[in-house]
Chains A and B, each alone.
Chain A
Amino acid sequence: MMATDETTRKLEEMVNSIYSMLSSGEIPEISMPSRSKENIVLDPMLSVWRYGDSTVTRSGKAVDGAEYMVKVLYMVDFIREMLKESKSSTLREMYYISEGWNLGKFATQDESNLMAEDLEVLSSLLREDFKLRPEENGASIMGDITIEERTRKGEFKKINCRDDVGDGGYGIPYSVEEDKLRIKDVNAKFILAIETGGMFDRLVENGFDESNNCLLVHLKGQPARSTRRLLKRINEEHNLPVYVFTDGDPWSFRIYASIAYGAIKTAHISHYLAVPTAEYIGITASDILNYKLPTDDLSDKDIAALNAELKDPRFQSEQWRDEIETMLSIGKKAEQQALAKYGLNYVTSTYLPEKLSDLTGFM
């Protein structure tokens, strides 16, 4: 995290470059790395995917480019004001506030969210530096880890994420940086990151965290930044391996990829969010066959997503290509909870122990 005045200085620097172009009679423009699937490359040092060298330039010559610049300027101004007044806002609040920005008004919240990320890329700062935060998304953690969270009263409160919380676990806050969350004590051997709430609840009920001495993290679908950041911190600071347990469908593969390799949208901060050593437990396409799981047919959208993954640079390893091609050839997908076919305890007594002991062979 940057100090507030440092953040302001960096943002003003950006504005100044536009101003100087205008005052020297040049058509203003903004360049930044292209944030597309085609422009992510593997960082060999960090083993995460980040943006490559191709850039996008938005020029004041065109209406789109000029509108973009107007919006960037309004957003920068808004952030500056918040920093000055020590306020913060959610991304959604900012979207609504932009109603009053006249020419800088956003058409959709997707547009404003994307621009907040663009601003991170442009300024090499983090959204947290801008005092912009997402909504709470309900991701949670359960297991023997003790943290201190700075509450709204400004005091640090100590919480053990197994003993001090209910069965829902400890709710992961929007920021898990040191000034908000300190990791005090971890008594576990690994982290199991779970896609669906149903499976998380099953593992909690079966006491999997205690019997296997691990931390259970509910990803709640595609994990939010803070969830990924927390995985990264525990992984780095306490050397816990991360295992990802999802449904067996193309979207789950993407969940894993965003944890292990970094997401395309946030490739500028992959080094800060991704856990390159995270491993995928399943459900794999081979699990569908080996465990004879109940399945659904792949929809047209699923098939399109799998085909897109075949072209995604992050899925080019032989294992992934095999998995994706197998899924395409059987034309089926399965949910985590399909394991219940063999009884409620099957996942904890048989499936997970088998998969965890196999792991060295997969990936």
Chain B
Amino acid sequence: MLFAYGTSMPPRKATISEFREASISEFFEKNRHILGFDSPQKSLFMIVKEALDNSLDACEEHGILPEVKVSLEKIEGDEFVVSVEDNGPGIERKQVPNVFGKLLYGSRFHSFKQSRGQQGIGITAAILYGQITTARPSQVKTRRKEDDVAYDFVLGINVKENKADIHSEKPVIWDKPHGTLISIPAKGKYQVGKQSILEYMRECAVANPNATLTLVDPDGKSYEIQRVTDVLSKPAIGIKPHPLGLELGDISSMAKNTASSDVLHFLKDDFNRISDKVAEEILSSSGLSGNKKPSELSLQDIKKLSEAFKSVKLMPPPTDCLSPLGSEFIKKGLKSVYEENHPSHYGKPVSRPITVYNGNPFSVEAGIVYGGDLPNDQPVRVVRFANKVPLLYQPGACAITKAISEMDWRQYGFDQKGGQGIPYGPAIIFVHVYGIRIPFTSESKEALANVDAITAEISLCLRSLGRGVKSFLGKKDKRAKIYEKFRLVNTLIPEIGRKASEILGKEVPNLESVISKIANVVFVTEQFRKVADGVEIDMKIINYTRKNISMNLIADPPTGDYEGPDLKWEVKELEPASEFTVTFSLKGKIPDYPGTNYYFTGIDPVRVQGAEPLPADFGTETVSIIETEGEE
């Protein structure tokens, strides 16, 4: 079941020992595509991805703000050296051969935990790919903070015995207090644009706004994406496997490797949600003896156990073991990477509660940016993430794309032919599916499998995003209407009066009663103009009623930076037909200012147009049931 981890592939029939007997190199050659090394362009990309994913995982696990530098150096022809250097915790010297030299090693092999990286295969596969294509070893330099020196390894992979082939190992001075550098020589093709390394790193920055990522391309050009927050992400917690989330091979390999001496303890200690009572039930249902040694369980016995798991009542797995990005990270990540499009609307990120699929907890969170310079006449851009890793390949096969295509976006103000397919509009939709063993279509983890339970959760997120865009557009519309009405009473009617009197050579009539017939309200309206470093806003309160009015007004600009006294005003005894005016400015690049939100208190809501009653929760971070759970 080696390759079944985290996938929905049918369980492989080969056993570990069979696998070891075959030439791993030969196996790898034949199955490159399964691991993602299927084209020269993609191979360099995969190496970076494997190393970068591991770095981010390690930093997250150890509470380090990640700083990762990726560089590609062209050696000759199509031969490159790909180096990834992080400030992670470093690796203990004696573990290096295992971590980098052994397929299927990895501390995560038996832990059930949400993580970015492949389950003990990715980075070794990358080194093996380098070795096959260039016949050269890789270099690993690593230092833990408790060590005085770093260790510099030159290693390859002994494919016959599935272990590291250490060419050299020496202690070296490294001014970095802790971290790991890996350099892999490999054949490939460096690509820019879509599905490129830079694109991958940019999207990584969306999901990891607390990371500083640097890329030095083969021409020596360097790109740095700086962190926008110093908040650490909450690490995922490893849990014991839940019985319902396991394939036969998983149970079999757990039985071989367990520290428990009998089946009863194996059940009680190695699985999640199996109490004494449940363990007894399982034993009686399967007809197995609790005293049997786990390592002596036959395949038949394992099958009986697995059947018994389904027959007893099990609590679902715990849900607090996952690590969501959380709405702050999503907001900051989207803002830092997509700010260059100057969106006029950052949708409120939505998160679904954690649910269980096949015995494994998972959840979905999503965000959207809308408007600004984003093109109106193009399909929306979809950025897909699984366990904090961007998915750049195979969008068509992915459950996220499917969920988006199957939703009717027209109801939310998007263009969409026939109400299906990727909608058109100025938007970037961000979807993150995370969990333990979320199902992919293949081992290279490029597309999420179409599982109803997951697609349904994605759809719920998307609806919520859609509603947000619709209400944003509605507000914009409403503001435009209010402004029109204001222009009517403030400009057009007076102009009719002025021009008619001019033609007739008469006095301009008093228009107050006409105007209050048209609009017997207090208007709150604004006009804004672009200035070099932002927008300047003129806000006006005009009393078109026939009585003096008093009110409090609060302005809440949806975008841009504001500095200065609070945007709060107290208006006292404003006389009919008179106005209260304030000018304030917002800094930042704001090409498409959507208009300020105005809220009032202290006046009858039916007498005000252009502002809304102050919501009770204004100023506090808005909380709703779909907000991310478990955030600090």
Contacts and interface: CB of A to CB of B under 8 A. Distances in A.
Contacts of B518: 27, 60-61
Nearest to A18: B500
A82 interface: no
Given A67-B492, A70-B496, 10 more contacts: A18-B496, A19-B506, A19-B509, A22-B514, A23-B509, A23-B510, A25-B514, A63-B487, A66-B488, A103-B495
Interface residues of A, number: 26
B315 interface: no
A22 B493 CA distance: 9
B491 A103 contact: yes
Interface stretch (A71-79, A92-100, A115-123): A71-79
B511 interface: yes
A26 B500 contact: no
Nearest to B500: A19
Contacts of A77: 499, 502-503
A58 to B, nearest CB: 11
24 contacts: A12-B503, A15-B500, A15-B503, A16-B500, A19-B504, A19-B506, A22-B509, A22-B514, A23-B509, A25-B517, A26-B514, A28-B514, A60-B488, A60-B492, A60-B514, A61-B518, A66-B492, A66-B496, A67-B492, A70-B492, A73-B499, A74-B499, A77-B502, A103-B491
B485 interface: yes
A73 B496 contact: yes
A19 B504 CA distance: 9
A26 B499 CA distance: 17
Contacts of B496: 18, 22, 28, 60, 66, 69-70, 73
A80 interface: yes
Nearest to A62: B488
B320 to A, nearest CB: 56
Contacts of B502: 77
Given A22-B509, A27-B514, A70 B497 contact: no
Contacts, number: 71
Contact of A63 (B485, B506, B513): B485
A60 B497 CA distance: 11
B29 to A, nearest CB: 60
Contacts of A19: 497, 500-501, 504, 506, 509
A66 B500 contact: no
Contacts of B485: 63
Q: Which 10 A-B pairs have the closest CB atoms?
A: A23-B509, A25-B513, A66-B492, A73-B499, A19-B500, A22-B509, A15-B503, A63-B488, A63-B484, A69-B496
A197 B496 CA distance: 47
Contact of A73 (B500, B509, B513): B500
Contact of B497 (A22, A26, A61): A22
Interface in B495-543: 495-497, 499-504, 506, 509-511, 513-514, 517-518
Given A22-B511, A26-B514, A66 B493 contact: yes
A44 B167 CA distance: 110
A70 B503 contact: no
Interface in A2-56: 12, 15-16, 18-19, 22-23, 25-28
Nearest to B481: A63
Contacts of A73: 496, 499-500, 503
A76 B496 CA distance: 12
A22, A26, A80: residue with the most chain B Cβ atoms closer than 10 Å: A22
A22 B495 CA distance: 12
A227 B279 CA distance: 103
A64 B509 CA distance: 22
B504 A12 contact: yes
Contacts of A16: 500, 504
A19 B487 CA distance: 20
Contacts of A103: 491-492, 495
A158 B585 CA distance: 73
Nearest to B501: A19
B517 A27 contact: yes
A143 to B, nearest CB: 46
A15 B504 contact: yes
A22 B497 CA distance: 7
Contacts of B513: 25
A66 B519 CA distance: 14
Nearest to A74: B499
Interface string A272-298: 000000000000000000000000000
A325 B497 CA distance: 53
Nearest to A28: B496
Contacts of A28: 496, 514
A26 B492 CA distance: 15
Contacts of A26: 514, 517
Contacts of B517: 25-27
B341 to A, nearest CB: 31
Nearest to A103: B495
B492 A22 contact: no
A125 B501 CA distance: 22
A272 B580 CA distance: 57
A23 B501 CA distance: 10
Interface in B201-226: none
Contact of B492 (A18, A25, A63, A76): A63
Given A63-B485, A66-B488, A80 B499 contact: no
A12 B502 CA distance: 11
Contacts of B504: 12, 15-16, 19
B18 to A, nearest CB: 69
A136 B181 CA distance: 83
B488 A22 contact: no
Contacts of B484: 63
B444 to A, nearest CB: 51
B497 to A, nearest CB: 5
A9 to B, nearest CB: 12
Contacts of B514: 22, 25-28, 60
Contacts of A66: 488, 492-493, 496
Contacts of B509: 19, 22-23
Interface string B298-312: 000000000000000
Contacts of B487: 63
A27 B488 CA distance: 12
A12 B504 CA distance: 7
A305 B255 CA distance: 82
A104 B496 CA distance: 10
Contact of A60 (B493, B503, B506): B493
Contacts of A18: 496, 500
A357 to B, nearest CB: 58
Contacts of A63: 484-485, 487-488, 492
Contacts of A27: 514, 517-518
A65 B19 CA distance: 82
Nearest to A16: B504
Interface in B529-588: none
B415 to A, nearest CB: 24
Q: Which of B492, B493, B504 has the most CB of A within 10 A?
A: B492
Interface string A162-173: 000000000000
Interface in B470-499: 484-485, 487-488, 491-493, 495-497, 499
A281 B497 CA distance: 54
B503 A76 contact: yes
Interface in B441-485: 484-485
Contacts of A76: 503
B495, B499, B514: residue with the most chain A Cβ atoms closer than 10 Å: B499
B479 to A, nearest CB: 15
Nearest to A25: B513
B507 to A, nearest CB: 9
